[in-house]
Amino acid sequence: MSFSTHTLDNGLHLVFEEIPRIRSAAVGFLANTGSRDEPKNLAGVSHFLEHMCFKGSEKRDWRKLSLDVDDLGAMWNAYTWWEGTAYFHWVQSDRLHESIEILADMMRSTIPHEEFDTEKKVILEEIAMYNDRPDSIIFDELIQSAFDGHPLGQSILGTYESVSEITRDEMAGYFERRYAPNNLTFIVTGRFDKDEVIDSVQAACGEWFSHASERDQDSPTFTPGSRVTRKDVVAREHIAFAVPAPPANNESSVTADLLAAYLGAATNSRLFWSVIQKGLADEASADYYGFSDSGLFYVYLSVDPTNAGQVMAIVRDELSGLANGIDSGALERAKTKAATSLVCSGQNGLHRFSQIVGDLSTNTPLKSIDDQLAEIDGVTPDGIADYLKAYPVTANPALIALGPMEKASW
Protein backbone atom coordinates (compact mmCIF):
# COMPACT_ATOMS: atom_id res chain seq x y z
CA MET A 1 0.00 0.00 0.00
CA SER A 2 1.54 3.30 -1.03
CA PHE A 3 0.39 6.84 -1.71
CA SER A 4 1.36 9.21 -4.49
CA THR A 5 -0.02 12.44 -5.94
CA HIS A 6 -0.20 14.46 -9.15
CA THR A 7 -1.60 17.92 -9.97
CA LEU A 8 -3.12 19.05 -13.27
CA ASP A 9 -2.34 22.51 -14.68
CA ASN A 10 -5.74 23.80 -13.57
CA GLY A 11 -5.00 22.90 -9.95
CA LEU A 12 -6.97 19.63 -9.73
CA HIS A 13 -5.15 17.48 -7.20
CA LEU A 14 -4.96 13.69 -7.71
CA VAL A 15 -4.29 11.19 -4.89
CA PHE A 16 -3.41 7.54 -5.56
CA GLU A 17 -3.27 4.58 -3.18
CA GLU A 18 -2.19 1.29 -4.74
CA ILE A 19 -3.42 -1.90 -3.05
CA PRO A 20 -1.78 -4.90 -4.69
CA ARG A 21 -3.47 -8.22 -5.49
CA ILE A 22 -7.04 -7.03 -5.70
CA ARG A 23 -9.15 -6.62 -8.86
CA SER A 24 -11.13 -3.51 -8.03
CA ALA A 25 -10.71 0.20 -7.41
CA ALA A 26 -12.71 2.80 -5.51
CA VAL A 27 -12.60 6.13 -7.30
CA GLY A 28 -14.19 9.52 -6.88
CA PHE A 29 -14.03 13.19 -6.07
CA LEU A 30 -13.85 15.13 -2.83
CA ALA A 31 -15.26 18.65 -3.10
CA ASN A 32 -13.71 20.71 -0.31
CA THR A 33 -17.02 22.29 0.52
CA GLY A 34 -19.71 21.46 3.04
CA SER A 35 -22.18 23.10 5.37
CA ARG A 36 -19.48 25.24 7.01
CA ASP A 37 -18.85 26.91 3.64
CA GLU A 38 -22.44 28.02 3.11
CA PRO A 39 -23.70 31.60 3.43
CA LYS A 40 -26.50 31.57 6.06
CA ASN A 41 -29.22 32.16 3.47
CA LEU A 42 -28.06 29.08 1.53
CA ALA A 43 -27.94 26.67 4.50
CA GLY A 44 -28.26 23.15 3.07
CA VAL A 45 -27.09 24.05 -0.44
CA SER A 46 -24.07 21.67 -0.37
CA HIS A 47 -26.24 18.65 0.35
CA PHE A 48 -28.93 19.76 -2.14
CA LEU A 49 -26.20 20.28 -4.77
CA GLU A 50 -24.89 16.75 -4.12
CA HIS A 51 -28.34 15.47 -5.14
CA MET A 52 -28.39 17.72 -8.23
CA CYS A 53 -25.06 16.30 -9.44
CA PHE A 54 -27.02 13.12 -10.23
CA LYS A 55 -29.58 15.06 -12.27
CA GLY A 56 -27.80 15.88 -15.49
CA SER A 57 -24.89 17.45 -17.38
CA GLU A 58 -24.25 18.77 -20.90
CA LYS A 59 -23.75 15.15 -22.02
CA ARG A 60 -26.37 13.24 -20.07
CA ASP A 61 -29.82 13.63 -18.58
CA TRP A 62 -30.46 11.87 -15.24
CA ARG A 63 -31.80 8.75 -16.92
CA LYS A 64 -28.76 8.34 -19.16
CA LEU A 65 -26.49 8.97 -16.17
CA SER A 66 -28.27 6.27 -14.18
CA LEU A 67 -28.09 3.78 -17.05
CA ASP A 68 -24.40 4.48 -17.70
CA VAL A 69 -23.50 3.90 -14.04
CA ASP A 70 -25.53 0.71 -14.19
CA ASP A 71 -23.61 -0.38 -17.28
CA LEU A 72 -20.41 -0.06 -15.26
CA GLY A 73 -21.83 -2.34 -12.59
CA ALA A 74 -20.52 0.20 -10.10
CA MET A 75 -21.41 0.27 -6.45
CA TRP A 76 -21.73 3.99 -5.83
CA ASN A 77 -22.73 6.62 -3.31
CA ALA A 78 -22.27 10.26 -2.32
CA TYR A 79 -22.35 12.09 0.99
CA THR A 80 -22.15 15.62 2.37
CA TRP A 81 -20.92 16.69 5.80
CA TRP A 82 -19.65 19.80 7.59
CA GLU A 83 -16.35 20.03 5.71
CA GLY A 84 -16.83 18.30 2.39
CA THR A 85 -18.86 16.46 -0.23
CA ALA A 86 -17.72 13.13 -1.70
CA TYR A 87 -18.80 11.06 -4.71
CA PHE A 88 -17.52 7.58 -5.47
CA HIS A 89 -17.76 4.44 -7.57
CA TRP A 90 -16.38 1.03 -6.63
CA VAL A 91 -15.71 -0.84 -9.88
CA GLN A 92 -13.74 -3.64 -11.44
CA SER A 93 -10.37 -2.18 -12.38
CA ASP A 94 -10.94 -2.65 -16.13
CA ARG A 95 -13.89 -0.22 -15.98
CA LEU A 96 -11.95 2.65 -14.39
CA HIS A 97 -11.65 4.80 -17.50
CA GLU A 98 -15.43 4.86 -18.06
CA SER A 99 -16.04 5.40 -14.36
CA ILE A 100 -13.75 8.45 -14.27
CA GLU A 101 -15.47 9.96 -17.31
CA ILE A 102 -18.90 9.59 -15.67
CA LEU A 103 -17.81 10.92 -12.26
CA ALA A 104 -16.12 13.90 -13.92
CA ASP A 105 -19.29 14.56 -15.90
CA MET A 106 -21.28 14.62 -12.63
CA MET A 107 -18.84 17.24 -11.28
CA ARG A 108 -19.95 19.49 -14.20
CA SER A 109 -23.67 19.29 -13.43
CA THR A 110 -25.82 21.78 -15.33
CA ILE A 111 -28.19 21.83 -12.32
CA PRO A 112 -31.13 21.32 -14.71
CA HIS A 113 -34.00 23.76 -14.12
CA GLU A 114 -36.62 21.09 -14.78
CA GLU A 115 -35.27 18.80 -12.02
CA PHE A 116 -34.59 21.49 -9.41
CA ASP A 117 -38.05 21.81 -7.84
CA THR A 118 -38.69 18.06 -7.90
CA GLU A 119 -35.44 17.40 -6.06
CA LYS A 120 -36.13 20.22 -3.61
CA LYS A 121 -39.26 18.32 -2.55
CA VAL A 122 -37.17 15.18 -1.98
CA ILE A 123 -34.78 17.15 0.25
CA LEU A 124 -37.61 18.76 2.21
CA GLU A 125 -39.12 15.32 2.82
CA GLU A 126 -35.72 14.13 4.00
CA ILE A 127 -35.53 17.05 6.47
CA ALA A 128 -39.04 16.31 7.76
CA MET A 129 -38.23 12.61 8.13
CA TYR A 130 -35.03 13.25 10.09
CA ASN A 131 -36.88 15.60 12.40
CA ASP A 132 -38.90 12.57 13.50
CA ARG A 133 -35.74 10.63 14.33
CA PRO A 134 -33.91 12.19 17.27
CA ASP A 135 -31.06 9.69 17.07
CA SER A 136 -30.36 10.78 13.47
CA ILE A 137 -30.23 14.52 14.08
CA ILE A 138 -28.95 14.82 17.62
CA PHE A 139 -25.26 14.97 16.66
CA ASP A 140 -25.99 17.63 14.03
CA GLU A 141 -27.83 19.65 16.69
CA LEU A 142 -25.04 19.09 19.20
CA ILE A 143 -22.50 20.58 16.80
CA GLN A 144 -24.79 23.52 16.09
CA SER A 145 -24.92 24.16 19.82
CA ALA A 146 -21.21 23.57 20.52
CA PHE A 147 -20.11 25.94 17.75
CA ASP A 148 -23.02 28.36 17.97
CA GLY A 149 -22.45 31.46 15.84
CA HIS A 150 -19.58 29.92 13.84
CA PRO A 151 -20.15 28.50 10.32
CA LEU A 152 -19.16 25.03 11.61
CA GLY A 153 -22.34 25.19 13.70
CA GLN A 154 -24.56 25.20 10.60
CA SER A 155 -26.79 22.20 9.93
CA ILE A 156 -25.74 19.86 7.10
CA LEU A 157 -29.27 19.44 5.78
CA GLY A 158 -30.20 23.09 6.31
CA THR A 159 -33.64 24.01 7.58
CA TYR A 160 -37.01 23.58 5.93
CA GLU A 161 -37.08 27.36 5.49
CA SER A 162 -33.56 27.81 4.10
CA VAL A 163 -33.87 24.97 1.58
CA SER A 164 -37.33 26.17 0.51
CA GLU A 165 -35.85 29.57 -0.38
CA ILE A 166 -32.77 28.42 -2.33
CA THR A 167 -33.06 29.25 -6.04
CA ARG A 168 -31.47 27.37 -8.88
CA ASP A 169 -29.30 30.38 -9.79
CA GLU A 170 -28.05 30.80 -6.23
CA MET A 171 -27.02 27.14 -6.28
CA ALA A 172 -25.30 27.64 -9.64
CA GLY A 173 -23.28 30.52 -8.18
CA TYR A 174 -22.25 28.41 -5.18
CA PHE A 175 -21.36 25.53 -7.50
CA GLU A 176 -19.16 27.73 -9.70
CA ARG A 177 -17.21 29.02 -6.69
CA ARG A 178 -16.90 25.75 -4.77
CA TYR A 179 -16.54 23.06 -7.47
CA ALA A 180 -13.61 24.70 -9.25
CA PRO A 181 -10.86 22.13 -10.00
CA ASN A 182 -8.48 23.72 -7.49
CA ASN A 183 -11.08 23.03 -4.77
CA LEU A 184 -11.65 19.39 -5.80
CA THR A 185 -9.49 16.33 -5.20
CA PHE A 186 -9.59 13.21 -7.35
CA ILE A 187 -8.95 9.99 -5.39
CA VAL A 188 -8.36 6.41 -6.48
CA THR A 189 -7.53 3.45 -4.25
CA GLY A 190 -7.12 -0.20 -5.22
CA ARG A 191 -5.63 -1.63 -8.40
CA PHE A 192 -5.03 0.66 -11.39
CA ASP A 193 -2.40 1.84 -13.85
CA LYS A 194 -1.39 5.28 -12.61
CA ASP A 195 -0.39 6.70 -16.01
CA GLU A 196 -3.65 5.55 -17.57
CA VAL A 197 -5.61 7.13 -14.72
CA ILE A 198 -3.79 10.45 -15.15
CA ASP A 199 -4.61 10.35 -18.88
CA SER A 200 -8.29 9.65 -18.13
CA VAL A 201 -8.51 12.47 -15.59
CA GLN A 202 -6.65 14.89 -17.88
CA ALA A 203 -9.05 14.06 -20.72
CA ALA A 204 -12.14 14.48 -18.54
CA CYS A 205 -11.11 17.42 -16.33
CA GLY A 206 -8.17 19.15 -18.01
CA GLU A 207 -10.29 21.95 -19.51
CA TRP A 208 -12.00 22.98 -16.28
CA PHE A 209 -11.26 26.55 -15.15
CA SER A 210 -9.95 27.31 -11.69
CA HIS A 211 -11.42 30.00 -9.40
CA ALA A 212 -10.44 31.51 -6.07
CA SER A 213 -12.12 29.22 -3.54
CA GLU A 214 -10.28 29.29 -0.21
CA ARG A 215 -12.05 28.63 3.05
CA ASP A 216 -11.17 31.76 5.03
CA GLN A 217 -12.51 31.25 8.55
CA ASP A 218 -11.26 31.63 12.11
CA SER A 219 -11.18 28.43 14.15
CA PRO A 220 -14.48 27.89 15.95
CA THR A 221 -14.85 28.63 19.66
CA PHE A 222 -16.55 26.02 21.84
CA THR A 223 -19.76 27.24 23.52
CA PRO A 224 -21.06 25.25 26.50
CA GLY A 225 -24.78 25.20 27.22
CA SER A 226 -27.82 22.96 27.55
CA ARG A 227 -30.97 22.66 25.43
CA VAL A 228 -33.82 20.27 26.21
CA THR A 229 -36.44 20.02 23.45
CA ARG A 230 -39.61 18.01 23.79
CA LYS A 231 -40.21 15.48 20.96
CA ASP A 232 -43.28 13.38 21.55
CA VAL A 233 -42.69 11.00 18.63
CA VAL A 234 -40.27 8.92 20.73
CA ALA A 235 -40.56 7.17 24.09
CA ARG A 236 -36.87 7.43 25.01
CA GLU A 237 -34.96 10.53 26.00
CA HIS A 238 -32.01 11.03 23.65
CA ILE A 239 -29.19 12.94 25.31
CA ALA A 240 -25.88 13.95 23.74
CA PHE A 241 -23.22 16.14 25.29
CA ALA A 242 -19.77 17.18 24.17
CA VAL A 243 -16.58 18.73 25.50
CA PRO A 244 -13.68 20.21 23.50
CA ALA A 245 -11.22 17.79 21.88
CA PRO A 246 -8.29 18.13 19.47
CA PRO A 247 -8.69 18.50 15.69
CA ALA A 248 -8.32 15.37 13.52
CA ASN A 249 -4.82 16.35 12.44
CA ASN A 250 -3.56 16.61 16.03
CA GLU A 251 -1.26 13.80 17.15
CA SER A 252 -3.50 13.09 20.14
CA SER A 253 -6.58 12.33 18.02
CA VAL A 254 -5.87 8.58 18.18
CA THR A 255 -5.70 8.88 21.99
CA ALA A 256 -9.12 10.54 21.92
CA ASP A 257 -10.45 7.67 19.78
CA LEU A 258 -9.19 5.02 22.19
CA LEU A 259 -10.33 6.90 25.28
CA ALA A 260 -13.81 7.02 23.75
CA ALA A 261 -13.72 3.26 23.10
CA TYR A 262 -12.45 2.60 26.64
CA LEU A 263 -15.27 4.69 28.08
CA GLY A 264 -18.15 3.89 25.78
CA ALA A 265 -17.67 1.12 23.19
CA ALA A 266 -20.69 -1.13 22.62
CA THR A 267 -19.31 -4.05 24.66
CA ASN A 268 -17.25 -4.36 27.84
CA SER A 269 -16.52 -0.63 28.14
CA ARG A 270 -16.92 1.40 31.35
CA LEU A 271 -20.40 2.59 30.33
CA PHE A 272 -21.36 -0.90 29.15
CA TRP A 273 -20.81 -2.31 32.63
CA SER A 274 -22.11 0.63 34.66
CA VAL A 275 -25.17 1.51 32.53
CA ILE A 276 -26.10 -0.97 29.76
CA GLN A 277 -25.38 -4.19 31.62
CA LYS A 278 -27.45 -2.87 34.56
CA GLY A 279 -30.42 -2.33 32.24
CA LEU A 280 -30.49 1.43 32.88
CA ALA A 281 -30.35 2.59 29.23
CA ASP A 282 -30.68 1.24 25.68
CA GLU A 283 -27.55 3.03 24.56
CA ALA A 284 -24.65 4.67 26.35
CA SER A 285 -21.76 5.34 24.02
CA ALA A 286 -18.79 7.67 23.77
CA ASP A 287 -17.05 8.88 20.65
CA TYR A 288 -14.57 11.36 19.30
CA TYR A 289 -14.99 13.44 16.15
CA GLY A 290 -12.18 15.53 14.69
CA PHE A 291 -12.70 18.46 12.32
CA SER A 292 -9.90 20.26 10.48
CA ASP A 293 -9.57 22.96 13.16
CA SER A 294 -11.49 21.65 16.17
CA GLY A 295 -12.83 18.49 17.74
CA LEU A 296 -15.45 17.08 20.12
CA PHE A 297 -15.45 14.26 22.65
CA TYR A 298 -19.06 13.28 23.22
CA VAL A 299 -21.39 10.91 25.04
CA TYR A 300 -24.73 9.70 23.67
CA LEU A 301 -27.52 8.18 25.77
CA SER A 302 -30.90 6.70 24.89
CA VAL A 303 -32.76 6.23 28.14
CA ASP A 304 -36.17 5.85 29.73
CA PRO A 305 -36.96 9.39 31.03
CA THR A 306 -37.45 8.07 34.56
CA ASN A 307 -33.83 6.84 34.58
CA ALA A 308 -32.28 9.92 32.99
CA GLY A 309 -31.15 11.60 36.21
CA GLN A 310 -29.61 8.42 37.62
CA VAL A 311 -27.82 7.57 34.36
CA MET A 312 -26.42 11.08 33.97
CA ALA A 313 -25.04 10.89 37.52
CA ILE A 314 -23.34 7.56 36.73
CA VAL A 315 -21.88 8.94 33.49
CA ARG A 316 -20.50 11.98 35.34
CA ASP A 317 -18.90 9.66 37.90
CA GLU A 318 -17.34 7.62 35.10
CA LEU A 319 -15.98 10.76 33.44
CA SER A 320 -14.43 12.13 36.61
CA GLY A 321 -13.16 8.64 37.53
CA LEU A 322 -10.99 8.54 34.40
CA ALA A 323 -8.56 10.94 36.09
CA ASN A 324 -7.94 8.30 38.82
CA GLY A 325 -6.24 6.02 36.32
CA ILE A 326 -6.88 3.78 33.34
CA ASP A 327 -7.12 -0.02 33.56
CA SER A 328 -4.31 -1.18 31.31
CA GLY A 329 -6.00 -4.52 30.47
CA ALA A 330 -9.17 -2.79 29.31
CA LEU A 331 -7.12 -0.30 27.29
CA GLU A 332 -5.29 -3.18 25.60
CA ARG A 333 -8.67 -4.70 24.65
CA ALA A 334 -9.77 -1.40 23.12
CA LYS A 335 -6.49 -1.18 21.19
CA THR A 336 -6.82 -4.75 19.88
CA LYS A 337 -10.37 -4.07 18.70
CA ALA A 338 -9.27 -0.90 16.90
CA ALA A 339 -6.36 -2.74 15.27
CA THR A 340 -8.59 -5.65 14.18
CA SER A 341 -11.13 -3.32 12.64
CA LEU A 342 -8.35 -1.55 10.75
CA VAL A 343 -6.72 -4.75 9.50
CA CYS A 344 -10.00 -6.38 8.46
CA SER A 345 -11.14 -3.35 6.46
CA GLY A 346 -7.72 -2.73 4.90
CA GLN A 347 -8.70 -4.40 1.61
CA ASN A 348 -12.11 -2.77 1.40
CA GLY A 349 -12.03 -0.14 -1.35
CA LEU A 350 -14.91 1.92 0.00
CA HIS A 351 -13.47 1.96 3.49
CA ARG A 352 -10.09 3.09 2.17
CA PHE A 353 -11.73 5.77 0.00
CA SER A 354 -13.70 7.13 2.98
CA GLN A 355 -10.62 7.23 5.15
CA ILE A 356 -8.58 9.11 2.54
CA VAL A 357 -11.45 11.57 2.08
CA GLY A 358 -11.61 12.09 5.85
CA ASP A 359 -7.87 12.69 6.10
CA LEU A 360 -7.71 15.05 3.11
CA SER A 361 -10.68 17.09 4.28
CA THR A 362 -9.06 17.65 7.70
CA ASN A 363 -5.49 18.26 6.43
CA THR A 364 -4.37 15.05 8.12
CA PRO A 365 -1.33 13.35 6.56
CA LEU A 366 -2.28 10.13 4.75
CA LYS A 367 -1.15 7.06 6.67
CA SER A 368 -0.57 3.44 5.74
CA ILE A 369 -2.18 0.68 7.79
CA ASP A 370 1.23 0.00 9.37
CA ASP A 371 1.57 3.64 10.44
CA GLN A 372 -1.92 3.58 11.92
CA LEU A 373 -1.25 0.32 13.78
CA ALA A 374 1.89 1.90 15.26
CA GLU A 375 -0.14 4.93 16.38
CA ILE A 376 -2.70 2.71 18.10
CA ASP A 377 0.05 0.67 19.71
CA GLY A 378 1.64 3.84 21.09
CA VAL A 379 -1.35 4.84 23.24
CA THR A 380 -0.67 4.22 26.96
CA PRO A 381 -2.43 4.93 30.28
CA ASP A 382 0.12 7.74 30.81
CA GLY A 383 -0.69 9.18 27.40
CA ILE A 384 -4.38 9.18 28.29
CA ALA A 385 -3.60 10.92 31.60
CA ASP A 386 -1.78 13.65 29.65
CA TYR A 387 -4.70 13.90 27.24
CA LEU A 388 -7.16 14.35 30.11
CA LYS A 389 -5.09 17.26 31.44
CA ALA A 390 -5.02 18.96 28.03
CA TYR A 391 -8.67 18.20 27.17
CA PRO A 392 -10.58 17.58 30.42
CA VAL A 393 -13.70 15.46 29.80
CA THR A 394 -15.25 16.96 32.94
CA ALA A 395 -15.37 20.41 31.32
CA ASN A 396 -18.66 22.27 31.15
CA PRO A 397 -20.34 20.56 28.15
CA ALA A 398 -22.64 21.50 25.31
CA LEU A 399 -25.74 19.33 25.77
CA ILE A 400 -28.79 18.49 23.65
CA ALA A 401 -31.75 16.42 24.87
CA LEU A 402 -34.59 15.32 22.57
CA GLY A 403 -37.52 13.23 23.75
CA PRO A 404 -40.51 13.21 26.08
CA MET A 405 -38.90 15.39 28.77
CA GLU A 406 -39.85 19.05 29.22
CA LYS A 407 -36.75 19.91 31.21
CA ALA A 408 -33.58 18.34 32.56
CA SER A 409 -33.77 16.10 35.65
CA TRP A 410 -29.98 16.00 36.03
**Closest separation between CB of residue 184 and its own copies, Å?**
25
Contact in structure between 271 and 318 (CB atoms under 8 Å): yes
Q: Closest distance between its own copies and the C-beta of residue 329, in Å?
A: 8
- DSSP annotation string for 118-181: HHHHHHHHHHHHHHT-HHHHHHHHHHHHHTTTSGGGS-SS--HHHHHH--HHHHHHHHHHHSSG
Minimum CB distance to its own copies smaller for 6 or for 337: 337
x/- mask, its own copies, residues 7-36, rule CB under 8 A, reads -------------xxxxx------------
Nearest to 28 by CA among 82, 77, 93: 77
Closer CB to its own copies, 55 or 95, in the complex: 95
Q: Is 365 strand, coil or helix?
A: coil
Q: Tell me the closest approach of the beta carbon of residue 91 to its own copies, in angstroms.
A: 6
Contact status, residue 285 vs residue 271, Cβ threshold 8 Å: yes
* Positions of E strands within 231-303: 237-244, 283-290, 295-303
Smallest distance from its own copies to CB 14, Å = 22
The answer to whether 133 contacts its own copies (rule: CB under 8 A) is no
Is 67 an interacting residue with respect to its own copies (CB under 8 A)?
yes
State the number of binding residues for its own copies (CB under 8 A). 33
**Residue 27 CB, nearest approach to its own copies (Å):** 12
Q: Residue 282's Cα: distance from chain center in Å?
A: 24
- Residue 343 contacts its own copies per CB under 8 A: yes
41, 164, 217, 268: residue in contact with its own copies (rule CB under 8 A): 268
Among residues 285, 348, 354, 362, which is the contact residue for its own copies, using CB under 8 A? Answer: 348
Span 75-104, contacts to its own copies by CB under 8 A: 75, 90-92, 95
Residue type, 46: S
Cβ atoms of residues 391 and 246 within 8 Å: yes
Task: Specify the 3-state DSSP secondary structure of 248.
Answer: coil
Interface residue list for its own copies (CB under 8 A): 20-24, 66-67, 70-75, 90-92, 95, 267-268, 333, 336-341, 343-344, 346-349, 369
